[in-house]
Amino acid sequence: EIVLTQSPGTLSLSPGERATLSCRASQSVSSTYLDWYQQKPGQAPRLLIYAASSRATGIPDRFSGSGSGTDFTLTISRLEPEDFAVYYCQQYGSSLWTFGQGTKVELK
């Protein structure tokens, strides 16, 4: 089973700043099967990025994904007030899905 480790656990930033979130896999993951979700308190997760770098429908272009192999990154170019939330990476492989433990982006 592939384990995803996200870092940092918490990122304290101000609106307008750049956020860089990391997701590291315990073994190589196909870029096709690495995705990112955003979750706000009391809400269901929302798909942000699929296939490592493709934005989901309606997602602003300040969100971008990159990476390959075992190292993937979600970048928010300029934080808006509505971007403060928890972000999860997720992978699929061998008929199993796993999530990272999440990174909380909080207001500094």
Partner 1 sequence: QVQLQESGPGLVKPSETLSLTCTVSGGSINSNTYYWGWIRQPPGKGLEWIGTIYSGGSAYYNPSLKSRLTMSVDTSNNQFSLKLNSVTAADTAVFYCARVVFGYYYMDVWGKGTTVTVSS
Q: By the criterion CB under 8 A, which residues form the site for partner 1?
A: 1, 32-33, 35, 37, 39, 43-47, 50-51, 56, 88, 90, 92, 95-102
Q: Which is nearer to partner 1, 10 or 15 (CB)?
A: 10
Closest CA to 9 of 106, 104, 89: 104
Q: Which is nearer to partner 1, 33 or 70 (CB)?
A: 33
CA pseudo-torsion sign 96, 61, 44, 103: positive
- Between the alpha carbon of residue 40 and those of residues 24, 43, 80, the distances in Å are 23, 5, 14
Q: CB 49 → partner 1: shortest distance, Å? A: 9
Q: Which is nearer to partner 1, 35 or 83 (CB)?
A: 35
